[in-house]
Amino acid sequence: MTWLIVPELIPPAEMCAAVLHDLSLPALGTLLARSQRTTTASTVSTEGALCNHFQVARQQDYPIAPISLSADGGDPEQHYWLRADPVHLRATRDQLMLVDSGAFSISQTEAELFAQAFNDHFKDDGYLLYPLRPDRWYLRVAQTPKLRTTPVNQVTGKHVDPYLPQGVDGLAWHRFYNEVQMLFFSLAVNDAREQRGEIPINSLWCWGGGVMPYIPRITAGKLWANDPNTRALALLANMPNDALPGDASNIDEHAIVLLDQLTGAAQYGDYYGWREALLALEKNWFAPLLSQLKSGQIKQLRITTHTPTHQYEWHCQRMDLWRIWRRTPLTQQLTSL
């Protein structure tokens, strides 16, 4: 079975009518209409679904931090780690909106300057910040916090208050965030960024906490993705993986494919960008895969997407394509509950 994971395939409710109006997607429309659709109440994200596939159990969070730390060349040992990614919090009226590193650049030298200031400031609090990559930072904590967090890609473009850390230690981490913001506001490296006209990095977003889990080996199939967190899971499972190709021509029967081209536009409410990205997916992925399913080159196709409250899946076999009486309109298929 070929498995497509397509984050943001169901657009946010406020975008739905506008982005789907007059959108011609015959291949996707056929695939979804002829498939068996399953809707499950679930708060599991794309990261969670992939962790479940790789048999990585949820701790308090799905432990993306130690997994990606290991893939980035670090040694998580048995410490508790959080991703502590650099972000910009933008004031909008009386709230703060999160802008992630997809909207700004940062050098490794800058990342190390932020980390040095952070580690000097928090040296007595049991925190140690490692910027192993310019845009992927890791926070080691001395004691395991009682904390549930939200992945940064679920918060990007949104007001942060509903997504702040939850749990027994949640309020303490809210205060920690405030202290980090005050520290970063005063740094010369941020002054220099603003003088160059670049977005200042005025906070961290901590998520994906846990200790390094055991990851069973999976050698069958291949993962295609550009997302480094997804590829980290495959790498540690010894599963073949590669960057996402331009189209479906080299995709085989047992592939897992993460098509995340819709994510950025959905996060920031870019209606035109979302429509254009979906049209490109239609041309490069859905139409070729429909042809492969018709010809028998692939036997089954599974398409998965998530909203904050549900998981949606469509399963289509070759024989399903003959069920022409299934004609649920695309707008209805791509409308969330």
Residue 337 is predicted with a pLDDT of 55
- Residues 205, 272, single domain; the answer is no
CA distance 237 to 326: 39
**Count of CA atoms in the C-beta half-sphere (13 A) of 212:** 16
Q: Write the single-letter amino acid at 95.
A: Q
Token code pair at residue 86: 């650099």
Start-to-end Cα distance in the chain: 27
Q: Which amino acid is at 10?
A: I
Using a 10 angstrom Cβ sphere, with 0-12 exposed, 13-18 middle and 19 or more buried, the burial of residue 42 is: middle
Of 153, 178, 210, which residue sits at a domain end?
A: 210
- Bridge partners of 310, per DSSP, are 41
* pLDDT for residue 134: 97
Number of domains present in the structure of the chain: 2
Q: Are residues 9 and 102 in the same domain?
A: no
Q: What is the pLDDT of residue 53?
A: 94
- What are the helix and strand counts (H, E) for the chain? 13, 12
Question: Which domain, by its residues, includes 177?
Answer: 64-210
Question: Is residue 66 a contact partner of residue 21, using CB atoms and an 8 Å limit?
Answer: no
One domain for residues 239 and 307: yes
Question: What is the dihedral sign for C-alpha 223, 99, 213, 112?
Answer: positive
Tell whether 72 and 191 lie within a shared domain: yes
Tokens 């042809």 map to which residue? 291
Q: Which of 160, 175, 210 corresponds to the end of one domain?
A: 210
Contact call for residues 27 and 4 (beta carbons, < 8 A): no
Cα torsion angle, 237, 243, 249, 250, sign: negative
Q: Are residues 194 and 229 in the same domain?
A: no
- Cβ(203)–Cβ(177) below 8 Å: yes
Distance, C-alpha 314 to centroid of its chain:
20
Do 203 and 241 reside in the same domain of the chain?
no
Whether residue 76 sits in one domain with residue 109:
yes
Burial-class residue 190 by CB neighbours within 10 Å (0-12, 13-18, 19+).
Answer: buried
Task: Check: CB of residue 248 under 8 Å from CB of residue 289.
Answer: yes
Q: Are residues 72 and 154 in the same domain?
A: yes
Same domain, 101 and 177: yes
How confident is the prediction along the chain (337 residues), in pLDDT tens digits per residue?
A: 999 999 999 987 777 778 888 888 999 999 999 999 999 998 888 999 999 999 999 999 999 999 999 999 999 999 999 999 999 999 988 899 999 999 999 999 999 999 999 999 999 999 999 999 999 999 999 999 999 999 999 999 999 999 999 999 999 999 999 999 999 999 999 999 999 999 999 999 999 999 999 999 998 899 999 999 999 999 999 999 999 999 999 898 899 999 999 999 999 989 999 999 999 999 999 999 999 999 999 999 999 999 989 999 999 998 988 877 667 777 778 876 5
User: Are the C-beta atoms of residues 9 and 274 closer than 8 Å to each other?
Assistant: no
Rounded Cα distance between 61 and 147, Å, is: 8
CA distance 171 to 177: 10
- pTM given for the model: 0.94
Residue 138 · residue 86 · CB < 8 Å: no
Same domain, 51 and 152: no
In whole angstroms, what is the distance from residue 293 CA to residue 253 CA? 10
Same domain, 146 and 26: no
Q: Which of 210, 238, 270 is the last residue of a domain?
A: 210
Same domain, 197 and 96: yes
CATH (domain of 243) = 3.40.720.10
Residue 175 has a pLDDT of 97
